Amino acid sequence: MTDVEKRSDRSPVPQDWTYAPAPESTEIVELRERYGLYVGGEWLDAKERYTTLSPRDESPLAEVAQASEADVRNAVAAAHDAFGTWSTIAGSERSKYLFRIARILAERAREFAVLESLNGGKPIKESRDVDVPLAAAHFFYYAGWADKLEYAFPNRTPKALGVAGQIIPWNFPLLMLAWKIAPALAAGNTVVLKPAETTPLTALLFCDVLRQAELPAGVVNIITGDGSTGAALVDSEVDKIAFTGSTEVGKAIQRRLAGTDKRLTLELGGKAANIVFDDCALDQAVEGIINGIYFNQGHVCCAGSRLFVQESIYEPLVEKLKKRMATLRVGDPLDKNTDVGAINSREQLDRIEELVAAGKDEGAEMYQAPCRLPERGYWFAPTIFTNVAQSYRIAQEEIFGPVLSVLTFRTPDEAIEKANNTPYGLSAGVWTEKGSRILWMAERLRAGVVWANTFNRFDPASPFGGYKESGFGREGGLHGMEPYLELTA
C-alpha cells in the first residue's frame, strides 16, 4: 500500500487497490554452475551438457548433463548393486530413510518451492502450497507402508522387483519424482530416474536431500538428459519402467517393451470433462472450473479442459466465468500474488498457439482474459473457446495449456455420452447438488478419478491413474505399491 491518505481524524484509506509486486527472493536457492549425474551416491561428469533455462525470462540457470547410453548403463548397474542390500534390510529400516527424506523435504520446502517455480514457471503459491507439501506427504505416506507389506498384501508374499527405471514429465517435476520414488523404495526396489529435459533442477537438488538422509549409495540414481536418455533407460537392464508423459511416447515405450519381461506402468495424457448441472452452486462451480483449467497454466494431465454446461445455465455461467477470468493475475511465477505463471517451454507455447489457431479456424469463438503479458519469457493469456463442436481439435486433443473448450448438454445421458467421447480417461468433474446424480454419473464416466463439487484434489492415500489412452497402473495409495511388487496369486 503506497498511496495512503493520512488524515488526522480518520484511519488511513488506500487509494489504489491493485496489487503491489511481492516477489519471493531467490537467494535461498544456491545453484551450481554445472551439474553431473548422480550415480552410486557420487556426482559423475558427463561428456555432453545442455543449459536449463527459466521460462519466466529465458535466463540460463545452470548446465546439466546429457546422459549417454553408457551413462545410463552405468546408473542401472549401480542400482543393481544396491538392490541386494536394500531389498533385504528390515522394512522398518527402509521406513526410517523415507521418513527422513520427507522431513528434510519439509524443512527445505521454501528452497524447493523457489527452485521449482524458477525452473518450471509455475506460480510460487502453487509450488509452495501444493507441489512441495504433497511431495513430502508422499514420502511420509509410503514410509508408513514399508514395514507393513505383509499386512498390506496378506498371504501374497510381497517381494521387490529389482531396479525401476522411472521417466517423468516437466509439469510437476518434484511431485512426479515423489510419486515414483516413494512407493518404489518402500517396496524395496532401487531406482534410476530421469527428469524431463526442461525441468531437471529440483530432481538434482533432491540428490542433496538423499545425501543428507544418508540413503545408501545407488538406491536412487538421477540421470538427466533428453528423450534419447529416456529411450536408453527403457532399453537398459531394468526390471520395470514407470512412465509419466505423453500418450505418444507412452505408446512407443509399450512397443519397445512388448515381448520382454519388464513390467510397465503408464500415466499418460487426458482431456477431462468438467460437467456442470443447473442445480449446482454456480459460484463454487466457477471457482472449480477456473482451478480445473488454469492451475499450473493448464499443464496438468487431469486438467478440466472440456467444460460441459447444462444448456439452461449456459449464459449466466459463461458470463461469471469471464468476469472471474478478468481477475486472474498472470505474470512472474515468483510473485506471491501470481495466479497463472509462465508456459514451461518455447516448444509447449508453440503447441498451444497451434491448437488455439486451429480452434479459431474451425469456427470456435475465443475470449481471452484482459492481461498484460511480460515481454520476455513464454506466456499465454487465460483463454476460453465457446461455440465448440465435439469434432474440433480443441475438443479432442490435449492442449496442455490455459485453454478451455466450452460445450453444452441437456440431459445427464447426453453429458455422459459426450464426456466419454474421447480416447482419454484420466479424470472428470461433476457439479450438482444431488448426491444420487453424483453417484449415477461417477458410475458411468470412464475416468480414473471423478471429483464431485471440487476439482484437482490429491492425497497420497488415494490412487490416481487412467482408462483407455490415459494409461494403466495406479499411483498413490496401496494401489501405487502393487506395480513395484512381485505378488503370488
Taking the C-alpha atoms of residue 429 and residue 272, their distance in angstroms, rounded to an integer, is 8
Query: Which residue number, 192 or 317, has a Cβ lying nearer to ligand NAP?
Result: 192
**Residue closer to ligand NAP (CB basis): 216 or 227:** 227
SS3 for 70? helix
Question: Which three-class secondary structure state does DSSP give residue 113?
Answer: helix
* Interface with ligand NAP, residue 426, by CB under 6 A: yes
SS3 state of residue 213: coil
Q: CB of residue 38 vs ligand NAP: minimum separation in angstroms?
A: 16
Residue 340 bridge partners (DSSP): 330
Residue reference for cell 469456427: 363
Residue 427 as a binder of ligand NAP (CB under 6 A): the answer is no
**Three cell numbers at 362?**
474451425
Closest residue to ligand NAP, Cβ-based? 230
Select from 123-131, 154-162, 193-201, 355-363 the region that touches ligand NAP (CB under 6 A).
193-201
- Minimum CB separation from ligand NAP for residue 330, in Å? 21
All residues at 6 or more sequence positions from 392 whose CB lies less than 8 Å from its CB, including other chains: 358, 359, 362, 363, 364, 405
Q: Residues 214 to 243: which contact ligand NAP by CB under 6 A?
A: 226-227, 230-231, 234
The answer to whether 267 is a known catalytic residue is yes
Q: Which is nearer to ligand NAP, 249 or 317 (CB)?
A: 249
In the three-class reduction of DSSP (H, G, I as helix; E, B as strand; rest coil), residue 237 is classed as: coil
Complex with ligand NAP: residue 40 or 227, whichever CB lies closer: 227
Among 267, 397, 398, 475, the one annotated catalytic: 267
Stretch of residues binding ligand NAP (CB under 6 A), selected from 95-103, 189-197, 319-327, 411-419: 189-197
- 469: contact with ligand NAP by CB under 6 A: no
Q: How far apart are CA 190 and CA 193, in angstroms?
A: 10
Residue 170 binding ligand NAP, by CB under 6 A:
yes
Q: Which CB atom, from 124 or from 167, has the smaller least distance to ligand NAP?
A: 167
CB nearer to ligand NAP: pick between 72 and 318: 72
Residue 237 to residue 268: CA distance in whole angstroms: 23
Residues 19-38 that bind ligand NAP (CB under 6 A): none
**388-407 mask for ligand NAP (x: CB under 6 A)?**
----------x-x-------
Q: Does 78 bind ligand NAP (CB under 6 A)?
A: no
The answer to whether the CB of 271 falls within 8 A of the CB of 396 is yes
**C-alpha 293, offset from chain centre:** 13
Contact 134, 470 (CB under 8 A): no
Report how far apart, in Å, the C-alpha atoms of 442 and of each of 210, 293, 386 are: 40, 20, 26
Determine which residue in the list 163, 249, 430, 485 makes contact with ligand NAP, applying CB under 6 A. Answer: 249
What the block records as the C-alpha cell of 323 is 468476469
Determine if 385 is a binding residue for ligand NAP (CB under 6 A). no
3-state secondary structure of 109: helix
Residue type, 270: G
Q: Which three cell numbers stand for residue 304?
A: 478440466
Query: What's the closest the beta carbon of residue 347 comes to ligand NAP, in angstroms?
Result: 8
How many angstroms separate the CA atoms of 447 and 419, rounded? Answer: 10
257-286 binders of ligand NAP (CB under 6 A):
267-270
H helix runs in 89-127, sequence order: 91-107, 109-120, 124-126
Q: Which is nearer to ligand NAP, 139 or 170 (CB)?
A: 170
**Locate cell 442445480: which residue?**
279
Take residue 123 and report the three cell numbers written for it: 506460480
Q: Which is nearer to ligand NAP, 301 or 407 (CB)?
A: 301
371 among known catalytic residues? no
Which residue from 36, 120, 218, 245 is in contact with ligand NAP, where contact means CB under 6 A? 245
Q: Catalytic: which of 301, 302, 398, 469?
A: 301
Q: Could you give the residue numbers annotated as active site?
A: 267, 301
Instruction: Tell me which residues touch ligand NAP (CB under 6 A).
Output: 167-171, 194, 196-197, 226-227, 230-231, 234, 244-246, 249, 252-253, 267-270, 301, 398, 400, 426, 466, 470-471
